[in-house]
Structure 1
C-alpha cells in the first residue's frame, strides 16, 4: 500500500498514550500482539474493540513502503513482530525465502468471507497458506469534469489527449505506469516479454510523457484539489481526501475498462513470531464482517475484499467496485526479470 491514508487525532492521541503506557490501561503482564503495518492503516476503533474483546494488548509500529518493511525483515528487525502487512509481490518474495509461518485455517473460519475475485487474483498464495488478504484496491484515473470541455475517452488513452497537455500527471511508480501502458496495449501487466515492454515504453515516451507535467506519487492529490492538474493517475483515497465531499460529484474516478495494476495488502505471520495464537485471533477478528465493515468505513474503502461486510457498512458511496477490478492485474514479484523494467524506466523517467 503506497496509498495515503487520512488519520484522525484519535490515532495521534492513542500513540501518545501508548508511549506513556496508558493507552489501554491494562497491566504490564497481559498478553501482547505486535503489529508492523502501513502508517495509518489500523483503525483506532477496531484496535480498541479487539483489545476489549480479547484482553490482548496491541502494539503497533509503522512503515511507509514495502521496501522499508522488507529491509527491516532482512536485517532481522522483525523478530519482535507477530503480524506483518506486505503487499502481494513482497508476500511472494517472503514465501520464497521461507520467512513466514504456515497458517492454521482451523483458527481462521472467517476466511470463508474472502471475495472470489481475490481468490482468483492471489496467485502468489492461492490457498492462503501463508497470507490472508487485508485489502484489495487499485489505482485509476481522476478527472475534474468541471474543467473539461467535451467528451474524453475513459481509458489510459486520455494521457495521449493533447487537449489536456500541461494539466496531467502520472504516478511516479515504475510498475504502475508501465503496467497501465501494457494493459492499454492489450498485454499482461506483469509480462517480461521484451518486445511488449519496449512497445509500452514507446507509448509512454512518445504519447503520454509529452502531455504530463510530472511523475508524482506524493502531492498529486493536493495539486488536483488546487486545480493544478485536471487529469491524474491516482489512488482514489489520495484525491478524495483532499476535496470537500460536496465537490465529489464533479470528479470522475474510473479504472479503465482494459484494466490497470491493482494491489492486495496481506496479513502474514513471520516465522519468528512469539504470539502466533494471538496473531491468528487478530486475523480472524479482522474478517468478521461487522469488524471489517468498521475498517472499510474508517477509510472510505469499497467492499472488495470481504463478502459479508457491506451490509454492516455506514458508507454507501464507493470510488470503485469489485467488478471494476475484474480486468486488472495484481502486481507480482518478477525476480531478476525486473531489471528489464528498470532499464526501460530510466529512459522514461530521466531521459528527455
Structure 2
C-alpha cells in the first residue's frame, strides 16, 4: 500500500475515533494518556493514581502516523501523547504542544545528558520529555553460528556464512541509515552522492545474503532457527525466544559505530484540560525508582534515567551504553522522497 493510501486510511480511522474522550464527564482528576500499545506498565499507573488521588485512562496507537492523523482529524480529550523524535519535532513546529512547566519537572536533573545532544529539535526538553531511547541492532543465533566467527558491525550482512539465513528490516530509514553509518556519513544525510553509495553497498554486499526485508515476522523465524542473522529491535527477538533459552541462543549487539535510534517523548497537547496533572505524571515517570519499574516490565536497558539502574531487578536485553554512538532519525522533510526512491530500487531489484 502506498504511503498516501496509508495516510488516507489512517485519517478515515481517525475520524471514526474522534471524540473518544469528549463525551466523558470531566471531574478534573482524570488524566487521559494516549500512548503506544503495551508501553505503560499497569503497576506504574496504579501507583501514580494512588499517590495523586486520580485516575489515568489510556488509549493506544500502533504508529506515529495513526496518532498524528487522529489528532489532526479533531480528536479531543487527550492530555499526554508519546511521539517519536521526528513527529515530536513536527508537532512542536505546528503548535500542537504546550510547554512543560519547568517548576514541575524537578527530575530533569536525572536525565542522561547525552539526550540533550541527541534531541536537537528540543534540547532543553521544553515540549518533549524523554520516555525511552531505543535502537535496532543485530541478533545472531548462536545455536547455528559459532560465536566469535563473525565481525560485530553492520557489514556482518556481507558475511557469506549467513547467506540464505539473514534478514534486514523493511524500513528504509533503518537500512539506509546503517549503510550511511558504515560509510562514515550522517545517517540523516540527504546528499544524493552519499545516498547513492549507500544504495550500492546494500545492493552489492548485503542484499545478496538476505532472504527478505522483514519488519514483523523475523522474531518468529529467528526463534525457529530459519533465520540466523537479523537486523531489528531486541524486544522482537527476545519476545519470541523462551527466556530460559536467551543466553544460549541470542547474541544481540549494536555495532560500535552506532546506527539509527529513536526517542519517544512525553508531550502535553495544547488542548489538554489537565496540564498540571500531566506535568506531575511526566515528572513522576522520571523518579529513578519508578522508571526502574518501567524498565523491568520490558527488560529495557537503562539510558534515559541512569540512576534507575540501581533499582532494577531484571537483567536488560542489552547494555544501554551500546546506544552511546547512535543518532536519532530526524525529520528530513521533502527529502524523504529521496529515501523512498532509493528504497524502491533496493526492494525490487533482482
Please say if residues 28 and 274 of structure 2, whose CA atoms lie closer than 8 Å, have aligned partners that are also in contact: no
Q: How far 1:67 moved relative to its partner?
A: 1.0
| Corresponding position of 2:108 | 111
Matched, 1:101 2:133: no
| Corresponding position of 1:36 | 34
| Corresponding position of 2:216 | 218
Q: How far 1:60 moved relative to its partner?
A: 0.6
- What runs of 5+ residues in structure 2 fail to find an aligned partner? 1-24
What's the C-alpha RMSD, in Å, of the aligned pairs?
1.5
- Which of 64, 67, 88 aligns to 2:65? It is 67
Please say if residues 30 and 57 of structure 1, whose CA atoms lie closer than 8 Å, have aligned partners that are also in contact: no
The 3 A distance-change label for structure 1 pair 28 and 85 is: closer
CA distance in 1, matches of 2:47, 2:28: 16
- What runs of 5+ residues in structure 1 fail to find an aligned partner? 1-26
Written as runs of structure 1 = structure 2, the 5 A alignment for 1:111-260 is 111-149=108-146, 151-250=149-248, 251-260=250-259
The alignment's TM-score, normalised by the length of structure 2, stands at 0.90
- Which of 316, 319, 328 aligns to 1:318? It is 316
| Corresponding position of 1:6 | none
Q: How far 1:28 moved relative to its partner?
A: 8.3
| Corresponding position of 1:53 | 51
| Corresponding position of 1:295 | 294
1:241 match: secondary structure: helix
CA distance in 2, matches of 1:56, 1:333: 36
2:258 match: secondary structure: coil
Q: How far 1:30 moved relative to its partner?
A: 6.3
Please say if residues 180 and 198 of structure 2, whose CA atoms lie closer than 8 Å, have aligned partners that are also in contact: yes
CA distance in 2, matches of 1:126, 1:86: 16
Which segment is superposed worse, 68-77 or 43-52? 68-77
CA distance in 1, matches of 2:73, 2:286: 31
Q: How far 1:108 moved relative to its partner?
A: 0.9
CA distance in 1, matches of 2:242, 2:293: 22
Please say if residues 303 and 322 of structure 1, whose CA atoms lie closer than 8 Å, have aligned partners that are also in contact: yes
| Corresponding position of 1:16 | none
Please say if residues 137 and 255 of structure 2, whose CA atoms lie closer than 8 Å, have aligned partners that are also in contact: yes
Q: 1:215-245 deviations in whole A, cap 9, x for unaligned?
A: 1111111110011100000111111111122
Q: How far 1:272 moved relative to its partner?
A: 0.9
Please say if residues 165 and 227 of structure 2, whose CA atoms lie closer than 8 Å, have aligned partners that are also in contact: yes
Q: How far 1:287 moved relative to its partner?
A: 0.6
The alignment's TM-score, normalised by the length of structure 1, stands at 0.90
CA distance in 2, matches of 1:106, 1:287: 14
CA distance in 2, matches of 1:105, 1:301: 27
Q: How far 1:162 moved relative to its partner?
A: 1.6
| Corresponding position of 1:13 | none
Q: 1:79-119 deviations in whole A, cap 9, x for unaligned?
A: 21000000011101111111110111101101111111212
Q: How many residues align?
A: 325
Please say if residues 30 and 55 of structure 1, whose CA atoms lie closer than 8 Å, have aligned partners that are also in contact: no
| Corresponding position of 2:10 | none
Q: 1:138-184 deviations in whole A, cap 9, x for unaligned?
A: 10000012211461111111111122111011011111111111111
Q: 1:32-65 deviations in whole A, cap 9, x for unaligned?
A: 1001100000001111111111111111110001
CA distance in 2, matches of 1:238, 1:189: 23
Matched, 1:83 2:99: no
Q: 1:248-302 deviations in whole A, cap 9, x for unaligned?
A: 1231100011111111100001111111111001101111111101100011011
